[in-house]
Amino acid sequence: VEELLAEIGRRASESAGSVGDVLPSRLRHVELLGETNRHLHRATDGRMNEQELRAEELRLAADHLGRIVGAIDVEDMLDVIFSQFCIGK
């Protein structure tokens, strides 16, 4: 799980590029980003030992981002994650 979270962070940083100071312009986006951040922090919380709970927090974070950028099919995302990290579904 730690390797997966590190990879998500790395890819997010690469995708952001030099955007830097771009801020969301809609209150709804700000709220959704806050919820995304909350779920990502829960997923990386060292006190949460159950991988199923971490996976659910990641799914919720992706769902909130999907509401900003467009729908994300969770099953497609899980297929990609599990194919790259050899984790059972």
Task: State the pTM of this model.
Answer: 0.58
Domain with 34, as residue range(s), is: 2-16+25-85
Nearest to 12 by CA among 55, 69, 52: 69
Instruction: Locate 14 and state its tokens.
Output: 């690469």
Nearest to 43 by CA among 83, 7, 14: 7
How many domains are there within the chain? 1
Instruction: Locate 53 and state its tokens.
Output: 């709970």
**pLDDT (tens digit per residue) in 11-46:** 776 665 555 555 677 788 888 889 999 998 898 887
**pLDDT (tens digit per residue) in 42-72:** 988 878 778 889 889 989 998 888 888 877 6
What is the C-alpha separation between 81 and 75, in angstroms, rounded?
10
